[in-house]
Amino acid sequence: MFVPCGESVPDLTNFTLLMPAVSVGNVGQLAIDLIISTLNMCKIGYFYTDCLVPMVGNNPYATEEENSNELSINTEVYSLPSRKLVVLQLRSIFIKYKSKSFCEKLLAWVKSSGCAKIIVLSSSHSYHRNDVQLRSAPFRYLLTPCMQKSVQNKIKSLNWLEMEKSPCIPEMSDSEFCIRIPGGGITKTLYDESCSKEIQMAVLLKFVSEGDNIPDAISLVEYLNEWLQIVKPPSGSPTPSALPWKIPSSWRLLFGSGLPPALF
State the SS3 of the chain: CEEECCCCCCCCCCCEEEEECCCHHHHHHHHHHHHHHHHCCEEEEEECCCCECCCEEECCCCCCHHHCCCEEECEEEEEEHHHCEEEEEECCCECCCCHHHHHHHHHHHHHHHCCCEEEEEEEEEHHHCCHHHHCCCCEEEEECHHHHHHHHHHHHHCCCCECCCEECCCCCCCCCEECCCCCCCCHHHHHHHHHHCCCCEEEEEEEECCCCCHHHHHHHHHHHHHHHCCCCCCCCCCCHHHCCCCCCHHHHHECECCCCHHHC
Confidence class for position 62, pLDDT limits 50, 70, 90? confident
pLDDT, tens only, 142-198: 999 999 888 988 888 999 999 988 877 777 777 788 889 999 999 999 999 999 999
**pLDDT (0 to 100) of residue 234:** 67
pTM (2 decimals)?
0.90
Closest CA to 190 of 202, 178, 176: 202
The average pLDDT across 77-98 equals 94
Whole-Å CA distances, 62 to 40, 41, 199: 10, 12, 34
**pLDDT (0 to 100) of residue 88:** 97
Percent of the chain whose pLDDT exceeds 70: 94
Is the pLDDT assigned to residue 34 strictly greater than 60? yes
The average pLDDT across 236-260 equals 73
